[in-house]
Amino acid sequence: MIKRRGTLFVVSAPSGAGKTTLCREMRLRLHELAYSVSVTTRAPRPGEIDGSDFRFVSEGDFRAMLARGEMAEWATVHSNLYGTPAKPLEAALRDGRDVLLDIDTQGAAQLRARYPDAVLIFVVAPSMAELEQRLRERRSDPEKEIGRRLERAREEISLWRRYDYLIVNRDVKEAMEQLESIIQAERCRVARLALTFPDLEVPN
Amino acid sequence: MIKRRGTLFVVSAPSGAGKTTLCREMRLRLHELAYSVSVTTRAPRPGEIDGSDFRFVSEGDFRAMLARGEMAEWATVHSNLYGTPAKPLEAALRDGRDVLLDIDTQGAAQLRARYPDAVLIFVVAPSMAELEQRLRERRSDPEKEIGRRLERAREEISLWRRYDYLIVNRDVKEAMEQLESIIQAERCRVARLALTFPDLEVPN
């Protein structure tokens, strides 16, 4: 039996657009999805668990990993470093598992360059006003931080054309269905199946 | 408000793979889908309604429509002529409606040439043995016809790489979900949205 190569799904969004919730819920819905625990130098937020939400490391440890070439992508966001370890990611894809990553725009561009067949998905709130309201409701950020996040959101949103898919997150249920549709549809793409079944007339 | 252009979804399959059922059920599930009633010179099968399943015409009438350039695609299958009238199809797309067509491989190739952004979906039974069994269960075809259909199925299946998506129809429910996912995912494709929102930073 030929083993299908997994597909890398990368979800980016301005903070407040709902990306973290979407990805967490999708992993609960599609248990077969592999994911990568990102490494970060930022401080844990209340409720975040080390090794599950993120792997929290010092800047020194992060830079040592980078130097050893252990990051599939990395980026600086709000003065903190974030990275995705390459080895577990590539092992999952080789093993035929689809991987869902929740990555900022800088990281997504690096992943696209390293894995050209990755599927890039951008999630936006229905409007800037809605995005601002969601950031305020989150209450975890001070006022100054909200302004910075909104400014950064505008920059990120301008990059939406570099993505394969756009999800306008009006409502979590609808956005979840769109994300799941994208994953299921990509599994039916002839361009991917033809790599797996190069010599077969009928893939079965 | 900018009006999104509709997407043309074309479903092909060897006879017996389940295409007709899939398309009929999908139109019931997604009421917004427009479809085209094909024109054909073949005789109605029991239960088929003229003007609903097909528009049944004489060969003379069919050739007159062809001569007037009124067919988006047409083909000869088992000595019968089939065609899709172009006007209602193009009106629906302009009006922003997605169109789902159930078309053989010859017609699909013509539609791809005429509408390069069409989405082509190929449906196969899980195996030739399964396909043969389904054709026999249908009981509407004489033995000789089943042999011809199987031979033609092999030829059609060899064309699967020309399609964008492949659905292996193991079970109608699963195949329906895959077809719906493909339609919903294509609605989120940046390449399509960027045509609709050329000058907007955020499409909302």
β-strands B71-77, B80-85 pairing: antiparallel
Determine the pLDDT at residue A143. 82
Q: Is A39 helix (H, G, I), strand (E, B) or coil?
A: strand
Hey, of A130, A154, A202, A204, which one would you mutate to test binding to chain B, going by the most B CBs within 10 A of its CB? A202
Helix (H) or strand (E) run with residue B196 in it: helix B190-196
Strand order in the sheet with B55-56: B55-56, B39-40, B80-85, B71-77
Q: In this complex, which of A161, A178, A203 lies closest to B184 when CB atoms are compared?
A: A178
Among candidates A91, A85, A58, which has minimal Cα distance to A71?
A85
d(CA A3, CA B136) in angstroms, rounded, equals: 33
In angstroms and rounded to an integer, the radius of gyration of the C-alpha atoms of chain B is: 18
Cβ <8 Å between A127 and B201: no
Contacts A167 to B, Cβ<8 Å: 188
Determine, yes or no, domain membership for B201.
no
Cβ <8 Å between B190 and A160: yes
Average pLDDT of chain A is 89
Q: Residue by residue, what is the 3-state secondary structure of B35-70?
A: CCCCEECCCCCCCCCECCCEEECCHHHHHHHHHCCC
Determine, yes or no, domain membership for A145.
yes
Helix (H) or strand (E) run with residue B132 in it: helix B128-138
Chain A closest CA to B117's CA: distance in Å?
15
Q: In this complex, which of B165, B166, B182 lies closest to A203 when CB atoms are compared?
A: B166
Structural domain for B41, as ranges: 8-196
Helix (H) or strand (E) run with residue B80 in it: strand B80-85
B180 touches A at CB < 8 Å: yes
| pTM across the whole model | 0.86
d(CA B204, CA B198) in angstroms, rounded, equals: 12
B132 touches A at CB < 8 Å: no
Domain count along chain A: 1
Cα–Cα distances in angstroms (integers) from residue A58 to residues A39, A77, A78, A141, B197, in the given order: 10, 15, 16, 22, 43
Determine the pLDDT at residue B195. 67
Determine, yes or no, domain membership for A192.
yes
Determine, yes or no, domain membership for A183.
yes
A163 touches B at CB < 8 Å: yes
Interface of A with B in 99-128 (CB under 8 A): 121-122, 124, 126-128
The three-point CA angle B116-B53-B27 to 5° equals 60
Q: What is the CATH number of the domain that holds A101?
A: 3.40.50.300
Determine the pLDDT at residue B77. 80
Give mean pLDDT, residues A169-196: 92
d(CA A176, CA B148) in angstroms, rounded, equals: 44
Determine the pLDDT at residue B204. 45
Cβ <8 Å between A190 and B161: yes
Give mean pLDDT, residues A169-187: 96
d(CA A3, CA A97) in angstroms, rounded, equals: 10
A184 touches B at CB < 8 Å: yes
pLDDT at B200 over 50: no
pLDDT in tens, B66-102: 999 899 999 888 899 989 999 889 999 999 999 999 8
pLDDT in tens, B92-151: 999 999 999 988 888 899 999 999 999 999 999 988 888 888 888 877 777 888 888 899
Determine, yes or no, domain membership for A151.
yes
- Enter the tokens of residue A164: 């394969």
Contacts B161 to A, Cβ<8 Å: 190, 194
Quickly state the pLDDT bin for A200 (edges 50, 70, 90).
very low
Determine, yes or no, domain membership for B31.
yes
Helix (H) or strand (E) run with residue B101 in it: strand B99-102
Among candidates B13, B15, B26, which has minimal Cα distance to B173?
B26
Determine, yes or no, domain membership for A47.
yes
pLDDT at A191 over 50: yes
Quickly state the pLDDT bin for A78 (edges 50, 70, 90).
confident
Hey, of B119, B150, B165, B169, which one would you mutate to test binding to chain A, going by the most A CBs within 10 A of its CB? B165
B194 touches A at CB < 8 Å: yes
pLDDT at A201 over 90: no
- Enter the tokens of residue A13: 């969004």
Residue indicated by tokens 């898919």: A165
Determine, yes or no, domain membership for B104.
yes
Q: In this complex, which of A127, A167, A203 lies closest to B188 when CB atoms are compared?
A: A167
Cβ <8 Å between B190 and A122: yes
Tell me the H-state helices in chain A.
Answer: 19-29, 59-67, 86-94, 105-114, 128-138, 143-157, 172-187, 190-196
Is residue A162 within 8 Å of A120, Cβ to Cβ? Answer: yes
Determine the pLDDT at residue B178. 97
A145 or B139, higher pLDDT: A145
Hey, of A166, A169, A189, A197, which one would you mutate to test binding to chain B, going by the most B CBs within 10 A of its CB? A166
DSSP states along A155-189: HHHTTGGGSSEEEE-SSHHHHHHHHHHHHHHHHTB
Quickly state the pLDDT bin for B199 (edges 50, 70, 90).
very low
Determine the pLDDT at residue B193. 86
B194 or B171, higher pLDDT: B171
d(CA B121, CA B47) in angstroms, rounded, equals: 27
Instruction: Tally A–B CB contacts below 8 A.
Output: 101
Q: Is B179 helix (H, G, I), strand (E, B) or coil?
A: helix
A199 or A49, higher pLDDT: A49
Determine the pLDDT at residue A204. 45
A164: nearest CA in chain B?
B190
Strand order in the sheet with A165-168: A99-102, A8-12, A119-124, A165-168
Determine the pLDDT at residue B201. 52
Is residue B9 within 8 Å of B121, Cβ to Cβ? Answer: yes
Phi, psi angle pair for A117, to nearest 5°: -90, 10
Q: Is B71 helix (H, G, I), strand (E, B) or coil?
A: strand
Determine the pLDDT at residue B197. 62
Quickly state the pLDDT bin for A117 (edges 50, 70, 90).
very high
Cβ <8 Å between A201 and B154: yes
Determine the pLDDT at residue B106. 86
Is residue A83 within 8 Å of A63, Cβ to Cβ? Answer: no
Contacts A16 to B, Cβ<8 Å: none
B131: nearest CA in chain A?
A202
